[in-house]
A and B are shown apart, each in its own frame.
Chain A
Amino acid sequence: MTLKPFKTIGIGVAFSPNLKANLFEAARLAVFFKSKLVLIHVGDDASDKRENLQTILKSFEKDNLDFEIIFQKGEPVDVILEVSEREKIDLLILGAQKRERFVTYYMGSIARKITRKVKCSILLLINPSVERVPCEHIVVNGLKDPKTEQAITTAFYVAKHLSSEKVTIVEEIKEQQVAVKVEDDKSLRRANIAKERIKLRENQRIKEIISHIPEQYTDGKTVKLQPIFGKQGYSIGHYAQISRADLLIMNAPSKMSFWDRLFPHDIEHILTELPTDVLILQ
C-alpha cells in the first residue's frame, strides 16, 4: 500500500465574495501539506487579476508558500479538468453552495460535473473561512472495498498534517447482510446476534488495516470504529453530520453510470447534501 502524498494542490478561482476565504483555505492546506498551490482561473490573463490574487496570498509569504497562477479560456469544466491533468494536481479544491434558507449545502452543477470526471482527489469545502477553523475530527469510510485501505491510510496522513485529534472509521454494513428479518422476539434476538457477529468481523478487518499504517501517522490519535447498518454512502454522511465531524473522507466510486445518477447512491448522496467538508480520494 503506497500513500499518494498531495504534492500539488489546485483550486479554481472565480472573483466572487468568497474568493478570499477560498484562497486562504487552499493556501493553508498547501502549507500544511508542504505542497505547491495552483490557482486556475477560467478567463483572460489580466494584470489586475493577478495582482489581486497576489495581495490576498501575501500573508502566506512567511510560510514559504509556493504558488502558480494559470489563466485559460474555455468551458469551466473542461479547463479545470485539462489543467489539473496537465499540472499533475493531486488534490483539487472546490467550493460548495448553500441552499437558500436552509443549512444544507450542495454541489453546484459545475462542481458536480468536475467531481464525476476528474482523475485526482477532490476536497469539497462547505464553509470556507479566512480564520482557521481547526480540523479536529475526521470521519473516514471503512467499506469493504479495495480502495478502503488507501482511504484510511490517507485519513491518518491528513490527520497528521492537520493535527486532528480524532479519526472515526465508519463501517457501513448493508442491511441485507443481516439475513434475518425482525418480526418477533426470536427473530429479533437472532438478528442481533447476526449483527454482533458482522460487527466483530468488520472491526477485525479495519484493525488489520490500521496495523499496516506507519506508526508515525497513527501515533497519539484517538481512533474509533463505528459500524452502522444502513444505506451505503448516505448513512456515513448523516453520521458525519451528527457527530460534528470536520472532514469526511470517502473513496471515489468505482464506476459512475447514468443509472447511478438516476438512483443516487454512495457519493451522489453526499453531493446532494454535504454534511461537512468532504475529501473524495481517487
Chain B
Amino acid sequence: MSPKKNNITDFFKALPKNIFSGFVVSLIALPLGLGLAMASDAPPIAGIIAAIVGGVVVSIFGGSHVTISGPGNGLVGVLLVAISTLGLESAFAAIICSGVLMMLLGFFRMGKLADFFPSSAIQGMLAAIGLIILGKQFHIMLAHKIKREDTIDYLYEIPFSINDAIHYENKGFIYAALAGVISLTIMLLYSKIRNKYFQLIPAPMWIVMLSIGFSYYFEMVLHEENPISSQYMISGIPSIQEIIVNMETPNFSKVGSFSFWSSVFAITLIASIESLLSIKAVDKLDPEKRRSNVNRDLKALGFATIGSGFLGGLNVVTVIARSSVNVNNGASNRSSNFAHATFLVLFIVLFSTQLTRIPLPALMAILVYTGYKLASPEVIRNISRIGKEQLIIFFVTLLVTLKVGLITGIVAGVITTQIIHLVLNGNISLFVRNVLKPNVLMYQEEDNEGFYVSIKHFCSFLNYYRLKEKLDAIPEDHDVIVDFSLCGFVDHTVMENMHNYQELFKKRGGHFDVIGLDMHDTDSKHPFALRRILPVPKIIQDNLTRRQTNMEDLAKDYELEYTPEKEKDIEFLYSFHFFNTKNVNHIYNKLLHQDGIIKLFDIEFSEGEFIAKEVVRSTMLYINLETTIPEFTLDREGFLEKIYAFAGFRDIPIQNHSDFSNRFYLLGENEVQIKEFFNDDITHFFESNPYYHVESNGKALLVFGKERLASIKEIKALFDFGKRLHQVIS
C-alpha cells in the first residue's frame, strides 16, 4: 500500500485552483440554472436554489470527485409535466419524494440501475428530451410565446414562428428576437474560436454579460428605455430577503393520487439515469484517475434534492457540461462544487437586480442550443453507423417519449430492443434459458497478474450488470482479457461499454482486450458485435487535399516517411499532462523522421463534454528521447499564467537567466531536477528560438505551437525546431 498522504495539506494546496474553477463553473451555472427552471415553468430562482443546495450538500456528502451538481437538462421534460398537472406546490412535494427515492436507491446500492437500459433507448430518450426543450424554447427565443397541448405541436410550429419573426413590426419584438438569434450564434460559434482570453469566460456568461451591458448602454448612454419588449425580460428574480420570506411551501395533499406518483417515478428515473451517466463520463476525464462512489453520490443527490425541494428548488442531479468545464479549469476535488455554489449565492446577493436585465430570448437561446446538442443530427448519424436496428430502437423510444411520456418511452425502447434481439437471433430459448445464469467467469491467472473474463451464452443489456460487476472489481492499471468466444450473442450496449472500458484502462495504464468475436464475424447471426468490433475501415480517400499533397512533397524533399491515414494507436500521448483532461480521437498526416525518433502529426482531440464540448485539431511534434529527463511543461509567460498563478500553479525560476524566466513559464514537480536540466545551452536555445509549448513526460517531448492545424511553412519550422532541440538535449 502507498504511504498515507498528508490529506489536509494537499487539500489546502489545491484549494485556490478549485475555487477558481468553481468560479468559472458558476458563470455557466447561473444562466443555465435560470433557463432550465424557466423552461420547466418553475420560477427562475428555483434552478439557482437547486444548484446552490446541490453544490453544498453533494460537495460534503458526495462520493465523486470533480462532478458539479445542479438542475439537469434531462429533467426539464418531466418537471414540465409535473408542474402543469400537479401545480407548482405539489410539484415541489413530488421533487422531495423523488429525493427520498434517490436516497433509497443509493442505500440499496442501485447505482447499477442505469446499466439495465439499452444504450440506443437511452439515446432516444435523451434526444426526445432535447426536442422537448428545443421545441418549446425555440418560440420564446424568437419572441413568439405560444401555448400548445402536445410537445410535437411545438416542433411543427417552428417554421411558422420563423416566418412570423421575419415579419415582426413591433420594435420590442424585433429586438427581443435579435437578442435570441445573436445569443444562439454565440453558442454555435463559441467553440470554433480558439482564443484563450475569449475562452476564459464561458459562452453562456458572454451572453449574460453582453445583454446586461446592452441594457445599461440604453439606460446610461442613450437615456432610453430598453428597446426589448418588457414581456420578454426575465421577471421575478427576487432579492435574497424575498427568497427567504416567500419560501414555497410544498403541498403534500396530492400524495394519494396516481399522477403524483407517476411524476415522482419519472423524475427519479431521469434524475438517476442522468446523474449516473454523467458520473461515468466525468470519471473518464478525472486527471487523478479516481473512481467515484456512485451509491454514495446517489444518496447525496437525493438528500440535496429533498433540501432543494423544501426551499423551492428543482431536483439536484450531476450535470455533464458543467462538470467537464470544472475539470478543464483544473478542479481536483469536491471543493470546486462547493465554490460554485458559494459564487452563485454571491451573484444572487449582489446582482439580483442586474439579472432582470437579461432578455428571455437570450437565455432561451442557450437552452435551444442544449436541446439541439441532445438531438443533433450527429447523434442519429452515429447510431445509424452502428446498425439499422439501433435506429429503429432510437426512433421508437424517441417518438413514444414525445407522444406519450418518458416512462412509457423508455419501456417501449427496452421492449423494442429485446424483440429485435429475439428476431435477429431467431432463438428465444437462448435468452429464456440463460438469463438467470451467472454466466460470467473472472479469475486472476496465477502465473501473471492479468485477469481473464469469460462470458457464456449471451451478453446483452439484460445481464450486462453481471459482467460490469466483475469488471469493476479490477483495478484499471491491470491487464484484462475479455473473452466472448463462448457467447452466442453480444449486443450493442455491451460492445459500447467494452469500448468505454478500453478507453478507461488505456488512460490509466492498463490493457483491456476483447477477444473471441472473430467467430461472430463469419457468423452472420451477430450483426451487433460485428459492426461494433470491426467497423469497416474508411476507404482511403484517393484525392488527398491540397495540404496533404504538399505534405507528401515535403516528405520527399526532406526524406521523411508520410502516412495520411488516421491512426488510433495513440497511447503514447496519454502520458503527457496536456491530455489528462482531453480525449484524443486520432492522429493523421504523420511524418516520420529517423526511424520514428521524431514524428510530426495532425491530431484531433476533444475537450469537455456535451454543450461544453470542443473539438480541436492541431499539429504536434513528438520526439522520442534516448535519455531520461525530468517531467516539465514550458509555455510562454502571459496574462493567463498570471491568473493561473493566483490559482496555485508555480513558475520555476531559472537562476542567472532572468530573461528566460520572464518570458517563459516553467512548470513541474521535481524543481531541483528541472533547474539542473535547464542548463545554459538549453536555456539559450529556448531564448533564441520562437515560442512553442514544450512538454516532457520523462522519456519523450511533445512540441506544438497553436491549437490549430499548422501550415506547411509552420510544419517546416516546427520540424526544424524539433531537430535542433533534440540535438541540444541529447
Q: Which of B283-303 contact A (CB under 8 A)?
A: 290-296
The complex places the Cα of A35 from the Cα of B382 at a distance, in Å, of 66
Q: Which of A182-221 contact B (CB under 8 A)?
A: 182-185, 187-189, 191-193
Contact present for B438 and A226 (CB under 8 Å): no
The complex places the Cα of A184 from the Cα of B456 at a distance, in Å, of 28
Contact present for B475 and A235 (CB under 8 Å): no
Contact present for A238 and B441 (CB under 8 Å): yes
Contact present for A184 and B293 (CB under 8 Å): yes
For residue B487, give the distance in angstroms from its CB to the closest CB of chain A.
11
Report chain B residues within 8 Å CB of A239: 441, 443
The complex places the Cα of A239 from the Cα of B443 at a distance, in Å, of 9
Whether A227 sits at the interface, judged by CB under 8 Å, is yes
Contact present for B441 and A191 (CB under 8 Å): no
Contact present for A234 and B437 (CB under 8 Å): yes
Contact present for B443 and A184 (CB under 8 Å): no
Contact present for B291 and A242 (CB under 8 Å): no
Interface flags for A169-183 (1: CB within 8 Å of B; 0: not) read 000000000000111
Contact present for A230 and B442 (CB under 8 Å): yes
The complex places the Cα of A226 from the Cα of B443 at a distance, in Å, of 8
Q: A183-B295, A228-B443 are in contact. Are A242 and B483 (CB under 8 A)?
A: yes
Besides A182-B473, A235-B441, 7 new A-B residue pairs in contact (Cβ under 8 A), listed by A number: A183-B63, A184-B63, A184-B290, A184-B292, A225-B446, A235-B438, A238-B454
Select from chain B the residue with minimum beta-carbon distance to A185. B291
Report chain A residues within 8 Å CB of B292: 184
Whether A229 sits at the interface, judged by CB under 8 Å, is yes
The complex places the Cα of A187 from the Cα of B111 at a distance, in Å, of 15
Query: 15 A-B Cβ contacts within 8 A?
Result: A183-B111, A187-B293, A188-B475, A191-B473, A192-B473, A225-B446, A226-B443, A227-B443, A229-B443, A230-B440, A235-B441, A239-B441, A239-B443, A242-B486, A269-B437
Contact present for B441 and A183 (CB under 8 Å): no
For residue A102, give the distance in angstroms from its CB to the closest CB of chain B.
8
On A, residues with C-beta under 8 Å from B are 181-185, 187-189, 191-193, 224-231, 234-235, 238-239, 241-242, 269
Interface flags for B91-117 (1: CB within 8 Å of A; 0: not) read 000000000000000000101000000
Contact present for B438 and A234 (CB under 8 Å): yes
For residue B3, give the distance in angstroms from its CB to the closest CB of chain A.
14
The complex places the Cα of A269 from the Cα of B442 at a distance, in Å, of 17
Tier of interface size on chain B = 20 to 34
Report the tally of A-B residue pairs with Cβ distances under 8 A: 65
Contact present for A242 and B454 (CB under 8 Å): yes
On B, residues with C-beta under 8 Å from A are 1, 63, 109, 111, 290-296, 437-444, 446, 452, 454, 456, 472-473, 475, 483, 486
Among B63, B438, B444, B452, the residue within 8 A (CB) of A230 is B438
For residue A267, give the distance in angstroms from its CB to the closest CB of chain B.
15
The complex places the Cα of A263 from the Cα of B719 at a distance, in Å, of 68
A193, A226, A241, A242 — most chain B CB neighbours (10 Å)? A242
- The 8 A-B pairs at the shortest CB distance, nearest first, are namely A184-B293, A231-B438, A238-B441, A183-B293, A228-B443, A242-B454, A185-B291, A184-B291
Contact present for B291 and A189 (CB under 8 Å): no
Q: A184-B290, A192-B475 are in contact. Are A224 and B446 (CB under 8 A)?
A: yes
The complex places the Cα of A27 from the Cα of B90 at a distance, in Å, of 80
Contact present for B441 and A189 (CB under 8 Å): no
For residue B640, give the distance in angstroms from its CB to the closest CB of chain A.
32
Report chain B residues within 8 Å CB of A229: 442-443
The complex places the Cα of A12 from the Cα of B443 at a distance, in Å, of 38
The complex places the Cα of A268 from the Cα of B486 at a distance, in Å, of 20
Report chain B residues within 8 Å CB of A242: 441, 452, 454, 483, 486
Select from chain B the residue with minimum beta-carbon distance to A235. B441
Select from chain A the residue with minimum beta-carbon distance to B441. A238
Report chain B residues within 8 Å CB of A193: 1
Among B1, B63, B109, B454, the residue within 8 A (CB) of A181 is B109
Report chain B residues within 8 Å CB of A227: 443-444
Select from chain A the residue with minimum beta-carbon distance to B488. A102
Among B290, B444, B483, the residue within 8 A (CB) of A185 is B290
Report chain A residues within 8 Å CB of B296: 183-184
For residue A241, give the distance in angstroms from its CB to the closest CB of chain B.
7
The complex places the Cα of A226 from the Cα of B454 at a distance, in Å, of 15
For residue B609, give the distance in angstroms from its CB to the closest CB of chain A.
21
Report chain B residues within 8 Å CB of A192: 473, 475
The complex places the Cα of A191 from the Cα of B472 at a distance, in Å, of 11
Report chain B residues within 8 Å CB of A269: 437
For residue A187, give the distance in angstroms from its CB to the closest CB of chain B.
8
